[in-house]
Amino acid sequence: MREQVGRRHRVRVAGGVALAVLALGVIGGCSGVQDKGSSVRKFDTAGGSADSAASLTSGAGSSGGRAAPKGPSAGAQVAEDRDVIYNGSLTVRVGDAPKAADKARAVADDAGGYLADSDADLEGTKEVHVTLRVPADGFDQAMDDLAKLGSVQARKIGSDDVTDQVVDLKGRLKNAEASADRLRELLAKAENVQNVITIEDRLTQRETEIEQLTGQLEVVQDQVKLATIRVTLTEKDEAAVNKDLPGPLEALRSGGVAFVNVVLAVVVALAFALPFLLTAGLALWLFRRWRKAHPKAKASPPPPIWGQAPPPPVQPAPAAPAAASAPVAGAGEPAGDE
């Protein structure tokens, strides 16, 4: 009995020891995992590269600190540090093209821009073409205001990212200016006439290059700063078939217009050919009058050959007498009947 109790006691003690050892192992593993995680975090914080820090910074900036786009929303948001050229075109049908052109110019003035070009055709189709330059920030508003002038027939918006071109021009301009500065320093220190001439020649080339690059950069920056809008203002064509008519009426109207056009084309062709027809008729009438006044002469016999008598004229054969041709009475009767 005592042995069984002692055995049970040893078993309980062993089980408790085992549980204690298992608990210590679990605690140690958890602490090891925490130490490992903390060491990794310490390594990332202390020994992280500048690229990772920059990526974290840029990620935070792109998610929460995105700047407003510089130009209009032409389909995609453009970052503020991009150089984009915006251009648009509109075809608007209006009642009075000259008055609409004045309103379009007023739209450009209100947006802070100006009228760059104007071309009017007031005969026939009566169209006015205007080119407007407006600030890029007011591009969308200007397009909407111009569309309100009449019925929009066509609308197009385009953009061209010239950031790389601007960066390239600025870099080339900076290098050219630095080279020109070095050449000026060398020119100040030159003592030989030949060296002076050579350096001045190189300096002139650099200055010319600087002027060209400066002009190109100014043109591109001006296009980026001011968007271009080309507007075509056309009046309503009353002779055109109304698209709002029902099908049969529209077909009848189209057929009538086509018939009138064909008749007019035939009349124009006849009017064009009338002088030629009159000239040809007059020439034919004069030719017939001349033929009547100058009849064609009969052909004469050929002249005789020298030393040969002319052939006698051909006499017509005499007609046979009527008595000879008539039968003799009683010629066929026998003689014994007398």
- Asked whether 124 and 94 are in contact (CB, 8 A), the reply is no
Q: Per-residue pLDDT for 159 more than 80?
A: yes
**Residue percentage of the chain with pLDDT more than 70:** 60
pLDDT at residue number 75 = 41
Q: What single string gives the DSSP state of each residue in 252-268?
A: HHHHHHHHHHHHHHHHH
Q: How confident is the model at residue 302 (pLDDT cuts 50, 70, 90)?
A: low
- Mean pLDDT over the full length of the chain: 73
pLDDT at residue number 201 = 93
pLDDT at residue number 60 = 37
230 membership: H or E segment, kind and range: strand 226-235
pLDDT digits (tens, 9 = 90+) for 238-278: 545 455 555 677 777 788 888 889 999 999 998 988 899 88
Q: How confident is the model at residue 173 (pLDDT cuts 50, 70, 90)?
A: very high
Q: How confident is the model at residue 109 (pLDDT cuts 50, 70, 90)?
A: very high
pLDDT at residue number 80 = 60
pLDDT at residue number 41 = 35
The number of beta carbons lying within 10 Å of the beta carbon of residue 130 is: 23
Q: How confident is the model at residue 224 (pLDDT cuts 50, 70, 90)?
A: very high
114, two tokens: 């100006």
CA distance 40 to 47: 10
Q: Per-residue pLDDT for 197 more than 70?
A: yes
Report the SS3 class of residue 69.
Answer: coil
pLDDT at residue number 322 = 54
CA distance 215 to 226: 16
The pTM of this model reads: 0.45
280, two tokens: 């040809």
Q: Per-residue pLDDT for 43 more than 70?
A: no
123, two tokens: 């005969």
pLDDT digits (tens, 9 = 90+) for 323-333: 444 454 444 44
Q: Of 6-15, 127-136, 279-288, where does mean pLDDT reach its minimum? A: 6-15
Position with higher pLDDT, 310 vs 96: 96
- Asked whether 164 and 180 are in contact (CB, 8 A), the reply is no
CA distance 238 to 15: 107
Q: Which of 201, 174, 177, 175 is nearest to 190 (CA)?
A: 201
How confident is the model over 86-114, as a mean pLDDT?
A: 91
Inter-CA distances, 93 with 34, 124, 126, 155, 158, Å: 74, 15, 11, 12, 22
pLDDT at residue number 305 = 62
Q: Of 53-62, 176-185, 270-279, 290-299, where does mean pLDDT reach its minimum? A: 53-62
Q: How confident is the model at residue 298 (pLDDT cuts 50, 70, 90)?
A: low
- Asked whether 132 and 104 are in contact (CB, 8 A), the reply is yes
Q: Per-residue pLDDT for 23 more than 60?
A: no
Position with higher pLDDT, 261 vs 338: 261
Q: Which of 222, 230, 229, 212 is nearest to 83 (CA)?
A: 222
The number of beta carbons lying within 10 Å of the beta carbon of residue 95 is: 11
- Asked whether 229 and 89 are in contact (CB, 8 A), the reply is yes
CA 303 to chain centre: 86
47, two tokens: 């020994």
